[in-house]
Structure 1
């Protein structure tokens, strides 16, 4: 896996992880979400952070499950010790830095190809996850920030619903089953909707346009 195909793996990984989060919520105990988030972290490390590292340790097959296990133990310890918000802040920082690194690979390097278009899709999915973490933090800090949300104090119980709400918001579907109540929550929600529309209209359109322009130039030269 290198910069020519890393976003192919990352796209499938993120989709499977989002599906796994939903399945864990429906069929398993809430604590299964810890494992899903651990898998997310390790997947991002391998697909994004390790793309240029020939000796990157997480590329080794036997290291991958061990890394997931230790990250799950770490997150479980933080949760049991009452550091849910601290863990979410760490996760938020990691997702933001990963998004920045992904954006640099997509926007500022080389010719636009299919892999980089997939990278733009991955970046969109990462943005949705970032907003979901922000909403979870807000609900934990200010209970009642959102209507129709359970009053659970466990982040892993709240997070799957906010993943759903975040992607409904960023795509401006707005079903209304979950709604913000506090002014800060309302600001974050409409700001995400604005961000999502500008992202689709400007970034993805420009990437696809550049790709089509490259194809046209190639055909003219042949």
Structure 2
């Protein structure tokens, strides 16, 4: 009974967690808080993917291993900052994080595209992918920045300390808002920003619009 209820509101719960983490991250700056937020994100995404591929044990094991590596790398980064001074390790951690989120986006996107009926929960699943894309690119920008800190130009306002905020920059780029306080400088940073902005526009215009259209059509047919 509980499993059926959980599965019927899978993406609603994921969206709730993603929104909570987005709000909580605005008030948490210490290492322990960041580790806790990372733990919540990794564990909940793993639970979602585990539910979606419950019939494939090898996928479950592989994704569990990836989840453990992702969480371990986040803890290592927060507790051992000097770790980020080694380019090879930065690339390894980046690949782990990007693979964990990228696989989640792929599995969720595939499940949503294969659904025969677009429910309210499926619609929220489409929104979840949008959030996850923003986080994925945030990890990507973080890796670029730590490999070459000249890849981005950060403008200081009111003489406040300046820090690179990859998730903030990612969502500003994804939504094509572009405040201009963080500017891509290197070629890879510029190309990544263009790619993300393009994906952000096309995803909303095509995928989300399609889901909304199917959801409305289904609601009309159901009421008739």
Match of 1:76 in 2: 75
Alignment of 1:127-138 (within 5 A): 127-138=133-144
Offset of 1:88 from its aligned partner? 2.7
1:146/1:181 contact within 8 Å kept? yes
1:85/1:140 contact within 8 Å kept? no
Moved more, 44-53 or 199-208: 44-53
User: How many residue pairs get matched?
Assistant: 197
The 3-state SS of whatever aligns with 1:199 is helix
Offset of 1:23 from its aligned partner? 1.7
Match of 2:121 in 1: 115
Question: Kindly tell me: are residues 52 and 73 of structure 1, through their superposed partners in 2, closer, same or farther at Cα, counting changes over 3 Å?
Answer: closer
Alignment of 1:67-216 (within 5 A): 75-77=74-76, 80=80, 82=83, 83-148=89-154, 158=164, 161-216=165-220
Q: State the Cα deviation string for residues 32-85 of structure 1 (Å, max 9, x = none).
A: 32332222110101123334649x9xxxxxxxxxxx999755643467383344
Match of 2:23 in 1: 19
Query: In 1, Cα distance between the equivalents of 2:170 and 2:149?
Result: 18
Query: In 1, Cα distance between the equivalents of 2:104 and 2:204?
Result: 19
Q: Normalising by structure 1, report the TM-score.
A: 0.79
- For structure 1, the 5+ residue unaligned runs are 57-67, 151-156
- For structure 2, the 5+ residue unaligned runs are 58-66, 84-88, 157-162
RMSD: 2.7
